[in-house]
Each structure stands twice: as C-alpha cells, then as structure tokens.
Amino acid sequence: MIQVIHRALNVLELLAAQPDRLVSLGEIADALGLNPATCSNILKTLAGRGYVERLDGRRGYRLGMGTLQLGGLADRDRRLVAAAEPVLRDLTARVNETSLVGVIRGNKRVTLASAACDRDLQVRSRLVRDVYATASGRLLLAYDAPERLDCFLQQVGLPDPRLWKEVRSEADLRRELGAIRRKQLAVTRSPEHVVGLAVPVRCGGQVVASASIYLPEARYFPSRRGELIAALRRAGDAIAERLEERRPEA
C-alpha cells in the first residue's frame, strides 16, 4: 500500500514538472519505471479524484484542478522557468555549451528549461534522467532533506558502480553527497564522454533547483574549467535573484 502511495505521488510530481504539455501514459510509465497497466490504474484513480486530467481526443495527461490544493508545484515551476530561461540563454551565449535548469520529481531528474549551444558537436540532455546519472541530479540529492534522502534510497537503492565508481556503499554515497554540499558543485563524467557541472539555485533560503552546463569531455580542458564554473555560479545566482523577485507575497 505504501509503495502505491509513493508511485501516485511520483506521477503527480512528474506532471507538475511539465505543466504546459500533455504527457503520455508511455512517457510516464517509462520515466518512473512502472508497468504500463499499473501506471494506467494509478492515472485512472487520480483522474477520478480530480488530481489528473485527460483531455478528450488527445493522448496525454496533465495536472487536474484538484492539485491546486496541494502546494502549487506547477506555479512554482512556472516561476522557475520564467526566471531561468533568459539567464540560460545568456550563459549559453557566453560559454557556447548546453545549459539547463533541473529539479527532482519523483525519483527522476527533470529538465524544466534549457538552452542549446551553437556547435556541430553538442550535448542534448533528455527531459527525464536518472538522478545518479547527472550532475544536476546528484547536486539536488545532496541538498535533499535527510528523510527524503532515506526514502529515495529505499526506493532506488545505490547507483551502479559503473555509473558512480566512488560509491560502493551507503556510507560512500553520503560522503560523496557531503562533498558536493561543501563545494556547492557537482561534476560528472559519463561513459559517453560527457562532462556535467551543476550548482544550486536557491529561493527563500532553500535549494529549489540546479543550474547545469553539459559539454563533450574533449572541450573540458583544465584552462577552461575555472571559466565554466565561474560562469555557471553567476548564472545560478542570477536565477536565484530573479526567483526572489517573483516570490508571491505572504
């Protein structure tokens, strides 16, 4: 029963991260690792209670009116997108690499906004990724509340050592996440030779998203590392400032 509740909440959080589009049953099931029949049953139940809406004649789901009473995730993400988009465009124009802003929804890293670079060889990040597979996902996990991290570990477990070679145990994972918090920076190198950099975006004293740069490893040479990190930190601060300006009045 508890697992079903977690799955239903994961569905709602995934839809909340994409408030302006319809998400198909297949996309939801694939992103959350659910059997399509199980996912369909969850969606039908949520639709019956008004938390999910399926438009007639269109194959896709979005949040329903019932979710307006559940904390306003969609409104918050809309404000985040509005704050991030111009900053990401400026960041990508400066460093000419792919940039994005991401959040964790359910047990996945979800991209809310991105800007593509103007290069023949460029990184294209998928909308939904495993948290451990991305710098932005690891950064966000590092700042998660202890009880949410415990819940995440119960559901997802440890990363594949081939994906995160420094992590072989829960103690290793917590040590690595602690190092990310101290540095306020996550760096990943994927098996596909892609480097990811991520820094926190704060609002109201809390980390609400991550700002990231992704680029081919061949362009991540030592003389450029400081420039990229400094530009990314400035972008994270700029998004945070714009978010504070858009905070709803109490």
Which domain does 147 fall in, by range? 73-245
Q: Average pLDDT per run of 10 along the chain, which is 250 residues long?
A: 83 85 90 92 86 76 71 76 96 97 89 92 84 96 90 90 93 97 96 95 94 96 96 98 80
Give domain status of residue 99, yes or no: yes
**Same-domain status, 15 and 91:** no
Q: How far apart are CA 167 and CA 173, in angstroms?
A: 5
Q: Sign of torsion, CA 81 19 17 130?
A: negative
> Domains in the chain: how many in total?
2
pTM value is 0.74
Nearest CA among 152, 139, 130, 128 for reference residue 209: 139
pLDDT at 195: 96
pLDDT at 69: 53
pLDDT at 49: 76
Give domain status of residue 95, yes or no: yes
pLDDT at 111: 93
pLDDT at 177: 98
130 near 108, Cβ under 8 Å? yes
Give domain status of residue 250, yes or no: no
pLDDT at 62: 87
